[in-house]
Structure 1
Amino acid sequence: MARGEDTRKKILDVAQDAILTKGFDATSIDEIVASAELTKSGFFYHFRDKNALASALIERHIAVEDQLFDDVFARARDLADDPLQVALIALKLLAELIEDMPNGHPGCIVATAVYQDRLFNADVREANRRAVLGWRGRFRKMFDAILAVYPPHDDVEPDDLADMVSSVIEGGIVMSRAVSEPSITARQIMLLRSYVKLLFSPRLK
């Protein structure tokens, strides 16, 4: 990694840790500079302001999450061809992955930015919107594949099902941190898995 790229990554790492701990508003550029052992000019060489930093953090978070989901679903597709089974396996793998994190899921930059969107310009808010809609699109494809084979036992909208996946994950992260119980997120994902299974599994006649 080139020196400039290494410095940029260090800034992002330090900023992310601080922001996930106490939010964007309470994290100053001065604090980031001190923790990263940089000069202010070094910070501003990479990011013109806090909006640029937020955009970079969101884009990086999206890339990391996309890779994580790609890996999970690729493993699930290696184990099954049926779309419902792929979804059930993927949700179980995701729950296990999060459960294996020593201190639970570290948090979501996208959610943190949403809670404090008054701090940001239109570019940051649009990056956040793209992130959420990207997750909707990903999980919508999963449910579309299931719906093509299995009629649901209730009247449901595919987009609502897709949003439920994100809501359960993000809500689980918030609950986990609120009560210092890291396993909540994984348990919530497994409950979601049970719902999906009940919603689509063929009924015995």
Structure 2
Amino acid sequence: MGKGADTRERILEIAEASVLAKGFGATSIDEIIAEAGITKSGFFYHFRDKNELARDMLRRYVAEDNRILDEIFARAADLSDDPLQAFLIGLKLFAETLADLPNGHPGCIIASVCYQERLFDREVVEINRQAVEGLNDRFRRYLEAVASVYAPREPVDLDALAEMVTCIIDGGIIMAKVMKDPQRLPNQLLAFRSFVKLLFSEPATAALHVPARAAIAAE
């Protein structure tokens, strides 16, 4: 990585830490410049404006999240060929990863953009929307693999079930900070894991295995 790339990465690191600590609106370009030890012209060499900084920071954050989740659930898949067991292992590994963070999860850039959406241009908002959809789609695929082998005890919308993970992560981060208890987030993930384990406990049969949406529509 060259000097210019190092500087750009440093700016993104500083900006991310500041946004997670106090939000995007309270993060100023001047404080980022001071922390990075660069000139204002040096900052604008890398980023045209604050929205461009937000776009690159968001893409960087999402890429790192995806890398971590890819590694965790790939490891889980290596440990079990059964889709339910692999998913349960993945959730346990994910919870353990979060529990190992010394001060809890630092926060969520995606949530920060949602909270302050009016500060951003349409491209930033769209990138954020795609990030949320990407996370939901990831867990939807895991759940579809589970549902192809295990029939749910109750009709369930897999989209809503997948979105529960996103809600748990953002809600767990907020709750952990409010209660000053870093274990709130991993504990919530483990509770979701228990729910999934109870929901998909019976192997599917030709008679029982009905697509979730069709089952809901039939009620």
TM-score with structure 2 setting the length: 0.91
Question: Which structure 2 residues correspond to residues 52-67 of structure 1 after superposition, within 5 A?
Answer: 52-67=52-67
Divergent runs of 4+, >2 A: none
Residue type at the aligned position of 2:37: E
Residue type at the aligned position of 2:120: F
Could you tell me which residue of structure 1 aligns to residue 114 of structure 2? 114
Q: How many residues align?
A: 203
Residue type at the aligned position of 1:138: R
5+ residue gaps, structure 1, are: none
1:170 aligns with 2:170: yes
Query: 1 CA distance for matches of 2:37 and 2:188?
Result: 39
How far apart are residue 102 of structure 1 and its match?
0.5
Question: Which structure 2 residues correspond to residues 84-99 of structure 1 after superposition, within 5 A?
Answer: 84-99=84-99
Query: 2 CA distance for matches of 1:50 and 1:175?
Result: 29
Could you tell me which residue of structure 2 aligns to residue 29 of structure 1? 29
Query: 1 CA distance for matches of 2:109 and 2:36?
Result: 19
Could you tell me which residue of structure 1 aligns to residue 5 of structure 2? 5
Query: 2 CA distance for matches of 1:191 and 1:136?
Result: 18
TM-score with structure 1 setting the length: 0.97
How far apart are residue 163 of structure 1 and its match?
0.5
User: What does the per-residue CA deviation read over 1:115-151, in whole Å, with 9 as the maximum and x for residues that have no partner?
Assistant: 0000000000000001000001111100000111111
> Which is greater in Rg?
2
- Percent identity among equivalent residues? 53
Query: 1 CA distance for matches of 2:50 and 2:153?
Result: 47
Could you tell me which residue of structure 1 aligns to residue 81 of structure 2? 81
The Cα RMSD (Å) is: 0.9
Could you tell me which residue of structure 1 aligns to residue 145 of structure 2? 145
The DSSP-based 3-state class of the residue aligned with 2:151 is coil
5+ residue gaps, structure 2, are: 204-219
How far apart are residue 76 of structure 1 and its match?
0.2
Query: 1 CA distance for matches of 2:177 and 2:36?
Result: 26
Query: 2 CA distance for matches of 1:106 and 1:5?
Result: 24
